[in-house]
Amino acid sequence: MTELENNEAYKKKVELVEALAQLDAKEKLMKSSKGYGKAYFWSVLLPPLGIYYFVRYLFFDGGDEEHVRAGVISLVLTLVSLLVSILLLGGMFSQASSLLPSQGGNAIQEMITPGNQQKILDLYR
C-alpha cells in the first residue's frame, strides 16, 4: 500500500468513528427526551414525583445542560400542579361547607332560657 492509500483509509476510519459518535449522541438525546416527557407527565399528575425527577436530573444524571433544564421544568410543573390542586381543593371545600346549615349559638341560647327550659321539661314528662 502506498502512503496515499493509507491516508485515505485513515480518513475513512476517522469519518466512521465520528459518524458513530454523532449517532450515539443523537440516540442518547432521543432516549433522554422520552424520559423527560415521562418526568413531565408524572410531575403534573402526581406532584411529589416531580421533586424526585428534579433531584435525579440535577444531581445524579450527569448534570449537563439538558438534564438540568429537565429537572427545573419538572420542579416548576410540580409547584404549579400543587398550587392548582390546593386552590381547587380549597374551592371545593368552601363550596361544600356553604351547603351545610350554619350552626350558630342562637339555638343553644334559646334552649337555656328559663321559659324554654320549662317547655323542654314538660315535653319530657
pLDDT digits 0-9 by tens, 76-119: 999 999 999 999 999 888 887 777 666 555 666 666 677 777 77
Residue 44: what residue type?
Answer: V
Asked whether the beta carbons of 78 and 54 are under 8 A apart, the reply is yes
Q: Which residue did the predictor score with more confidence, 67 or 101?
A: 67
9-21 pLDDT, tens digit per residue, is: 888 888 888 877 8
Asked whether the beta carbons of 14 and 48 are under 8 A apart, the reply is no
The domain tally of the chain equals 1
Enclosing domain of residue 116: 3-124
Please tell me the distance from the alpha carbon of residue 82 to that of residue 48, in angstroms, as a whole number.
8
Handedness of CA 65, 55, 36, 43 (dihedral sign): negative
Please tell me the distance from the alpha carbon of residue 124 to that of residue 21, in angstroms, as a whole number.
93
23-44 pLDDT, tens digit per residue, is: 777 777 655 566 788 888 888 9
Please tell me the distance from the alpha carbon of residue 123 to that of residue 45, in angstroms, as a whole number.
57
pLDDT of residue 81: 94
Burial class (CB within 10 angstroms; exposed 0-12, middle 13-18, buried 19+) of 104: exposed
